[in-house]
A and B are shown apart, each in its own frame.
Chain A
Amino acid sequence: MGLVVQFLGSAAAIALLVGLVAWTRRGRGDAAGAGLDGAGRFAEEFPGLTVQELWIAAGGASALAHAGDRALIGWRLGDGVVTRSVPFSRLRIAHRGPGQVELNLDEPGLPRLRFVADEGPWPPGGWTARAPGATTAAT
């Protein structure tokens, strides 16, 4: 009985603390208003690779880049950013659905990635560097 009370008390304390954090973050947004700077982030995360083409989602929620035979993928997660470097060929096995692309990188640390994408080619052919907000992709 004591353990149950202790468990419930801890759960209540968690709820209060998480509520406090949510309250202090009102109106501040997830990433403090910052979009994902694809080029800068990829250069920092993958210093040995040179980005040739870059595709940044509207609002900067995610980015894709082509670097040699690698595809660099980045997306915002809360205040943080998650990135991966995968063989470019992996993009070709993505599942193409209406208005989105679903990518399974077969990694226990990742869920299936979903990119909202227009009806253009996939992987995005003829990528060109674009400013954040200029395209239609997002995770």
Chain B
Amino acid sequence: MNPLHAPFDPVTLATPFFVLAVVLEVVLARLGKAKGAYETRDTLTSLSLGLGSTVAGLMTGGVIFAATIWVWNHRLFDIPMTAWWAWLVIFLLEDFTYYWFHRLSHERRFWWASHVNHHSSQHYNLSTALRQTWTGGVNGSWLLWLPLAFLGFPPAMIAIQKGVSLVYQFWIHTEAIGRLPTPLEFIFNTPSHHRVHHARNPRYLDRNYAGILIVWDRMFGTFEPEDATEPPRYGLVHNLGDFNILRAAFHEWRGIGRDLLRAKSWRERAGYLFGPPGWSPDGSGETSDAIRTAWRARITPPAAAAATGPKPPVR
């Protein structure tokens, strides 16, 4: 196998399946056979953002591929594409990389600005999965995958595994599937786990970053199960005011630019750029942590809060 040329692209192969699956979900939802909600303009926005993302990816794909090849030419080991163990290892390492990429994309505004459009729908259906970034190629997040090439995984292998991850994550964007058997829910990212990820309820904010394996969230303390008593409310903390795809793709970048122009110090500039989304210099901003803390204070009875609060020192 040519290490620089993937023999197939999982995403291209899966595209007909994407279309058929959306058709099936729309029809089953309409017939009342499955849970799901589609809105015409929302669907148009999602699919248009998906198409635009493909075009945008063409503009930066060459640079990313060239950088990957350059790093691979300085690799530590020679990892064969034909070895089964190599596919197992890259599956785990790529998914681990994706977890941190995705966490970074939510917890730091510079990368959130690229990822936010994926979360900008108030609906959660298979078309939402295609609401992909237009600016992911220019924010440098692809650098996170270069260590795989440095280790010695061929660029073609990395490309295939990234494609497999993207295809896997398509089917979990649905309300039509409830909970899967417990062992699957324990190991894999599922529709239930990913509904939590797309929810704007304070309890669910910035949780379940997994790509394929939910175990990373369990290991790193970002796992939150779907609570049957608290249905997810989808979208952003501050939802967009229209269906304009340019606004969806670029509004956070505009917000960053506006804040940088108003910033009074380098500390403020750094905070607006690399702080968590919602950061403000005086600490009053609506970050996910602040929203969650306020929510916990509301739902915790005063007596319980006192019992779990700071204890006086023992003398």
Chain A residues engaging chain B, CB cutoff 8 angstroms: 3, 7, 10-11, 13-14, 17-18, 20-22, 24-25, 30, 47-48, 77-84, 107-111, 113
Q: Which residues of A contact B240 (CB under 8 A)?
A: 77, 82, 109-110
- Residue of B241, B294, B298 touching A109 (CB-CB under 8 A): B241
- Residue of B23, B58, B236, B255 touching A20 (CB-CB under 8 A): B23
B55 near A18 with CB under 8 A, answer: no
From B44-52, B65-73, B95-103, the one touching the partner chain is B44-52
Q: How far is the CA of A7 from the CA of B56 in the complex (A)?
A: 12
Number of A-B contacts (CB under 8 A): 100
Q: Which residues of A contact B41 (CB under 8 A)?
A: 78
A77 near B47 with CB under 8 A, answer: no
B39 near A20 with CB under 8 A, answer: no
A-B contact pairs, 25 of them (CB 8 A): A7-B51, A7-B55, A10-B54, A11-B51, A18-B40, A18-B44, A20-B27, A21-B38, A21-B40, A22-B40, A24-B30, A25-B38, A77-B122, A77-B241, A78-B39, A78-B122, A78-B243, A79-B123, A80-B42, A81-B239, A108-B251, A108-B255, A109-B236, A109-B252, A111-B241
CB distance from B72 to the nearest CB of A (A): 26
CB distance from A94 to the nearest CB of B (A): 15
Q: How far is the CA of A17 from the CA of B48 in the complex (A)?
A: 11
A21 near B27 with CB under 8 A, answer: no
A111 near B51 with CB under 8 A, answer: no
Q: Which residues of A contact B255 (CB under 8 A)?
A: 107-109
The residue in chain A whose Cβ has the minimal distance to the Cβ of B235 is: A80
Q: Which residues of B contact A11 (CB under 8 A)?
A: 51
The size of the chain B interface, using a CB distance under 8 A, is 42
**New A-B pairs, 6, CB < 8 Å, besides A18-B44, A21-B38:** A10-B54, A17-B19, A17-B127, A30-B39, A77-B239, A108-B258
B40 near A47 with CB under 8 A, answer: no
Interface residue? B282 (CB, 8 A): no
B window 274-299: CB within 8 A of A: 294, 298
A48 near B37 with CB under 8 A, answer: no
- Most chain A beta carbons < 10 A, residue from B39, B242, B244, B254: B39
Interface of A is mostly: mixed
B294 near A3 with CB under 8 A, answer: no
B23 near A17 with CB under 8 A, answer: yes
A20 near B26 with CB under 8 A, answer: yes
Interface of B is mostly: helix
A82 near B239 with CB under 8 A, answer: yes
Chain B residues engaging chain A, CB cutoff 8 angstroms: 19, 22-23, 26-27, 29-30, 37-44, 47-48, 51, 54-55, 58, 122-123, 127, 235-236, 238-244, 247, 250-252, 254-255, 258, 294, 298
B298 near A48 with CB under 8 A, answer: yes
The residue in chain B whose Cβ has the minimal distance to the Cβ of A113 is: B241
Q: Which residues of B contact A48 (CB under 8 A)?
A: 294, 298
Q: Which residues of A contact B122 (CB under 8 A)?
A: 77-81
A79 near B42 with CB under 8 A, answer: yes
B251 near A18 with CB under 8 A, answer: no
Q: Which residues of A contact B30 (CB under 8 A)?
A: 24
B44 near A14 with CB under 8 A, answer: yes
Q: Which residues of A contact B54 (CB under 8 A)?
A: 10
Q: Which residues of B contact A79 (CB under 8 A)?
A: 37, 39, 42, 122-123
Q: Which residues of B contact A84 (CB under 8 A)?
A: 238
* Contacts A11-B51, A18-B43, A78-B42; A24 near B27 (Cβ below 8 A): yes
A82 near B241 with CB under 8 A, answer: yes
Q: How far is the CA of A48 from the CA of B58 in the complex (A)?
A: 46
Q: How far is the CA of A113 from the CA of B240 in the complex (A)?
A: 12
The residue in chain A whose Cβ has the minimal distance to the Cβ of B41 is: A78
